[in-house]
């Protein structure tokens, strides 16, 4: 196991053993409305603990998904209802608000999916969706897709590839951005195919 992952395991395992699923839920949820927390790291550690029987994998996945969906939805509501106040108070910098506006306007649902994997952006993207008055239906679809993919990769993934995680992490860190570009293109293509198939079956 890589040294960095061993360090994360040693740091976070006692917290999960002490506070369990409640801590996992809270850490993931608060990231959805702008509070930095080690939600992703806790999810990886919880997945690895589940692989050794110390936690329930199904419970880890369910708690992580519920935490992300609830936190993201609360962030959306905060942005929609109080976005202007946050900007006036300086709690959200205008440059960040403009950047999120631009990303949402240009990429829509794909921006939600990609932001879930970018530190700094994922803490404010869902508030930004509310601030940009993104329609509820695309937000709900994007939130569900982003959460499902994120939980599958960082919740289910570590448990399934525990023995192969070292070379995979080494490759990922060496080719991080090309990896996410390829993943994003694949997801966008699948989403487009699904949308066209749905339109074919449900003509206006």
Tell me: the pLDDT tens digits for 181-203?
777 777 777 667 766 766 676 65
Q: What is the pLDDT of residue 45?
A: 92
- Residue 56: what are its φ and ψ, rounded to 5°? -90, 125
* Number of C-beta neighbours around residue 19 at 10 A: 14
Q: What is the pLDDT of residue 5?
A: 64
- Which residue, among 81, 82, 64, has the nearest Cα to 26 in the 3D structure? 64
Q: What is the pLDDT of residue 115?
A: 80
Regions of the chain short of the pLDDT cut 50:
none
Tell me: the pLDDT tens digits for 31-41?
988 888 889 88
Let me know: does 30 contact 70? Beta carbons within 8 Å.
no
Q: What is the pLDDT of residue 75?
A: 92
Cβ neighbourhood burial of 13 (10 Å; 0-12, 13-18, 19+): middle
Q: What is the pLDDT of residue 27?
A: 94
3-state secondary structure 30-45: HHCCCCCCCHHHHHHH
Q: What is the pLDDT of residue 189?
A: 74
């Amino acid at each position: 196991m890589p040294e960095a992952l061993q360090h994360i395991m040693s740091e976070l395992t006692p917290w999960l053993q002490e506070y369990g699923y409640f801590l996992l839920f809270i850490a993931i949820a608060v990231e959805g409305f702008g509070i930095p927390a080690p939600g992703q790291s806790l999810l990886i550690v919880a997945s690895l603990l589940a692989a050794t029987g110390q936690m329930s994998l199904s419970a880890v996945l369910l708690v992580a998904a519920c935490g992300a969906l609830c936190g993201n939805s609360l962030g959306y509501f905060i942005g929609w209802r109080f976005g202007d106040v946050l900007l006036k108070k300086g709690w959200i910098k205008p440059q960040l608000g403009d950047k999120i506006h631009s990303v949402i306007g240009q990429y829509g649902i794909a921006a939600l999916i990609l932001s879930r994997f970018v530190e700094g952006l994922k803490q404010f993207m869902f508030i930004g969706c509310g601030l940009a008055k993104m329609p509820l239906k695309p937000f709900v679809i994007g939130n569900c897709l982003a959460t499902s993919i994120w939980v599958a990769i960082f919740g289910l993934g570590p448990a399934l590839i525990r023995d192969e995680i070292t070379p995979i992490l080494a490759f990922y860190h060496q080719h991080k951005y090309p990896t996410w570009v390829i993943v994003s293109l694949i997801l966008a293509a699948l989403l487009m195919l699904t949308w066209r198939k749905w339109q074919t079956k449900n003509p206006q």
